[in-house]
Amino acid sequence: MTVLRYSTPALRAQGLALWAAVTVLAMAAPWLNPVTWGPNPEMVQRLLSVGCGAVLLVAWVGYGPRVSARALAHTLAWGWLLAALLSAGAGVLQYFGAEGLLPYPWISASSPGQAYANLRQRNQFASLTSLGLVALLYLANDHPNADSRHPALRRLCVILAIAVLALGNAASSSRTGVLQWLGLVALAWVWARHGRRSILGWTLLAAALYVLAAWALPQALEAATGQVGKGALQRFQESSDCGSRTILWSNVLELIAHKPWLGWGWDELKFAHFITPYRGARFCELLDNAHNLPLHLAVELGVPAALLLCGGALAAVLWATPWRDTHPARQMAWAGLATIALHSLLEYPLWYGPFQLATLLCLWLLWRTRQDAPTAPRAVGQLPLSLLAATGLLAIAAYVGWDYWRVGQLFLPQAHRAHAYRDDTLTKVSDSWLFRDMVRFASVTTTSPSPDNATALYADALQTLHYSPEPRVIGALLESARLLGQETATTEHIRRQWQTVYGKTPATAP
């Protein structure tokens, strides 16, 4: 793109249009990806997010100084809005069981009354519609000729887009989505006190359309399929029994009390939850995240680390005073961060590529629009460094993808494996260091304990218990311990926890 500096205005305009199109597509693609493969359903999405992140590193960081901050903000807004509107349409089709209208696999399979687009989780889908609303509010209020170029048509398009987003959010039945849209109303009210009253009007309209959609969709579902629909407003009144967040958080607080200073260790929550006998009710699912970012940091890294990280983030926000910000692009970035932050108090969106990318883009936009930032586009960007970094990211993603693909052969039927990995697969992929836990899990769960392999199997099963404490792993551990004559207090405790967690004795468990 360096040639654009010396080209004609027409060529520069074409180059800028190409830059904008590529940037928007790179922002939207991770949200829309329909492909999953292998034992980790999110891995393809993560790899795609890294690839799109490499493109955006060049487009935003490398070439970004050559374009205005407003142009950067517009590409972010259009990327979010494109992804949100397409996902909302897919979600409505899923809600009515009509995703088959499009060829497989463009929309993930679902069942009537369930909608999550290609994000496969209702709360993530709802958060995308919230980011889409944030983007739409920015675009609706930052057009230089909004008052002179077909204002009625523009308002109609905005209303229709809000209606589609409201339908998508309502179809998700996500309580998180309700809270996010109410939070956007509150943000708009705060910013309205500083002169941005039009945003408040649009958010109030969005809230009203959401209520209408939340009422109408279950009625339409019942009329079309005979199935009784359930919306987010009804779900607020439900009790999830042992699967509720109240029980989950009480368990996590008890785990924190056991190891408050250094925590249980990163990625050790699954093991900690399994191995700990709680005083009260137990969350009845495998638990790999606290569904609350501060609590998760505290349980895995310790309370001091959680206070340092969360307190530092809070201090940075208070210092920046976003409630006083009147810059449209900065308001969009703050609203995007607030949407993800609220979701992070109820789940773990930052463990997924699209949300990581969205967070980084918001932070970069805030940096680019800071008070002392250059207001005019600069002729020189950081293209060489950004190209080098992007090449490195793509190389890393390619290696991770290749290693994941070959380890994933272990989880396919032998006839469906790649020819080179069809025989003696475990031996051929045992040198993987990125996915060694996955390889060890496959080995433990497919090896029959015997006196000859009991020593190695026992050691592997103990480590795999930290990766996935499920019945097949526990059964291999206990049986190999029996063969070795190593039935100790530790194995007895594991046996008791097996019965407590899964309600089965080792003899009847798979």
pLDDT in tens, 25-63: 999 999 999 999 989 989 999 999 999 999 999 999 888
- The answer to whether residue 379 scores a pLDDT higher than 80 is no
- CA-to-CA dists, residue 1 to 5, 6, 17, 52, 370, angstroms: 8, 10, 12, 18, 26
Confidence of residue 239 (pLDDT cuts 50, 70, 90): low
Q: At what angle do helices 353-368 and 9-32 cross, to 10 degrees?
A: 140
Task: Give 102's DSSP letter.
Answer: S
Quick check: helix, strand or coil at residue 412? coil
Quick check: helix, strand or coil at residue 307? helix
- The answer to whether residue 216 scores a pLDDT higher than 70 is yes
- The separation between the first and the last C-alpha atoms of the chain, rounded to the nearest angstrom, is 60
The more confidently predicted of residues 461 and 376 is: 461
- CA-to-CA dists, residue 483 to 458, 471, 480, 487, angstroms: 10, 18, 5, 9
Average pLDDT, the chain: 91
Structure tokens at 213: 């959609």
User: What is the phi-psi region of residue 71: left when phi exceeds 0, alpha when psi lies from -120 to 50, beta otherwise?
Assistant: alpha
- Separation CA 364–CA 358 (nearest Å): 10
Structure tokens at 70: 């407003």
Structure tokens at 477: 């551990």
| Residue 509: predicted pLDDT | 41
- Cβ atoms of 173 and 93 within 8 Å: the answer is no
- Separation CA 346–CA 175 (nearest Å): 10
22: number of Cβ within 10 Å: 15
| Residue 374: predicted pLDDT | 72
- The answer to whether residue 147 scores a pLDDT higher than 60 is no
Confidence of residue 428 (pLDDT cuts 50, 70, 90): very high
| pTM assigned to the model | 0.94
- CA-to-CA dists, residue 431 to 308, 420, 436, 473, 494, angstroms: 37, 16, 8, 21, 30
| Residue 6: predicted pLDDT | 46
- Cβ atoms of 152 and 141 within 8 Å: the answer is no
- Cβ atoms of 108 and 120 within 8 Å: the answer is yes
- Separation CA 134–CA 310 (nearest Å): 24
**Of 352, 412, 347, whose CA–CA distance to 47 is shortest?**
352
pLDDT in tens, 293-346: 999 999 999 999 999 999 999 999 999 999 999 899 999 999 999 999 999 999
pLDDT in tens, 126-141: 999 999 999 999 999 8
Distance of CA 456 to the CA centre of its chain: 37
- CA-to-CA dists, residue 151 to 140, 142, 154, 156, 209, angstroms: 10, 13, 5, 9, 21
Distance of CA 180 to the CA centre of its chain: 15
Identity (one letter) of the amino acid at 285?
Answer: E
Q: What is the mean pLDDT of residues 213-242?
A: 84
- Separation CA 504–CA 496 (nearest Å): 10
- Cβ atoms of 137 and 199 within 8 Å: the answer is yes
List all residues 6 or more positions away from 390 whose beta carbon is below 8 Å from its beta carbon. Answer: 54, 55, 57, 58, 62
